[in-house]
């Protein structure tokens, strides 16, 4: 038995609702948090993104995405860089030095429901489902026009050394921070 430090009155607190997946579709969101995290295998890093739905009946719900920017598989890195480029274009920030430059800028995500990759070997009725971001576009539904100064440069190659999360005041892109 565990003693509580104080009396708890459950009638004064709204009970937690069960977690429900968002239905597939397009949602207007904004990134509210981001940081570089180590991969489960320990041989790479991903940019973790937390987004809030900011319009519609699901306003206030959270969506997450991970971009594997440091990975031994070059194709995985290229996919992550293209996704990061899509986010940059969607929020109108083509030159970024820190992922916080992408925060609090509306954009739209296309969301799907998929089987959690860790559950694919289980019988179908036991598989857990999860939301998966399938694409990013500008909040109006189309990518913003490119600036008249010419095409944007290719995304920078991520640093090979492991990155560490830094303080919010850092001006170095989290995918470029040295460990």
**Does 43 have pLDDT greater than 80?**
yes
Q: Say yes or no to pLDDT of 41 above 50.
A: yes
In a domain, 7, yes or no: no
Do 96 and 171 touch, CB atoms closer than 8 A?
no
- Residue 168 maps to a domain: no
For residue 1, pLDDT over 80 is answered with: no
Band the pLDDT of 173: cuts 50, 70, 90.
low
Higher pLDDT, 34 or 172: 34
pLDDT at 151 over 80: no
Q: What pLDDT is attached to residue 123?
A: 78
What is the model's pLDDT at position 68?
96
Domain count, the chain: 1
Q: 62 in a domain, yes or no?
A: yes
Q: Is 1 part of any domain?
A: no
Q: Flag whether 58 is in a domain.
A: yes
**DSSP for residue 39:** -
174 falls within a domain: no
Q: What is the pTM of this model?
A: 0.69
For residue 140, give the DSSP letter: T
Residue 40 domain boundaries: 22-142+152-161
List Cβ neighbours of 135 (8 Å cut-off, separation of 6 or more): 86, 109, 110
Is 177 within the bounds of a domain?
Answer: no
How much is the average pLDDT of 105-118? 90
For 165, list phi and psi in degrees, rounded to 5: -60, 140
Is the confidence at residue 139, as pLDDT, over 70? yes
pLDDT at 23 over 90: yes
Residue 31 confidence class, pLDDT cut points 50, 70, 90:
very high
Q: What is the mean pLDDT of residues 169-173?
A: 44
Q: What pLDDT, on a 0 to 100 scale, did the predictor assign at position 8?
A: 86
Return the pLDDT at 28.
97
Has residue 64 been placed in a domain?
yes
Laid out side by side, the sheet with 107-115 consists of: 62-70, 45-53, 25-38, 107-115, 129-138
Instruction: State yes or no: pLDDT of 56 exceeds 50.
Output: yes
Provide the pLDDT confidence category of residue 116 given band limits of 50, 70 and 90: confident
């Amino acid at each position: 038995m565990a003693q509580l430090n104080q009396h708890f009155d459950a009638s004064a607190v709204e009970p937690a609702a069960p977690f429900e997946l968002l239905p597939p579709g397009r949602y207007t969101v904004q990134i509210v948090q981001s940081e570089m995290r180590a991969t489960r295998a320990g041989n790479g890093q991903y940019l973790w993104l937390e987004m809030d739905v900011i319009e519609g009946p699901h306003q206030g719900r959270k969506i997450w995405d991970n971009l594997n920017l440091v990975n031994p598989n070059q194709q995985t890195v290229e996919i992550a860089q293209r996704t990061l480029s899509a986010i940059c274009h969607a929020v109108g920030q083509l030159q970024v030095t820190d992922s916080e430059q992408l925060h609090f800028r509306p954009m739209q995500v296309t969301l799907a429901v998929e089987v959690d990759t860790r559950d694919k070997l289980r019988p179908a009725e036991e598989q857990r489902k999860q939301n998966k971001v399938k694409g990013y576009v500008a909040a109006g539904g189309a990518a913003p026009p490119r600036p008249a100064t010419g095409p944007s440069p290719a995304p920078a190659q991520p640093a090979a050394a492991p990155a560490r999360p830094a303080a919010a005041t850092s001006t170095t892109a989290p995918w470029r921070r040295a460990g």
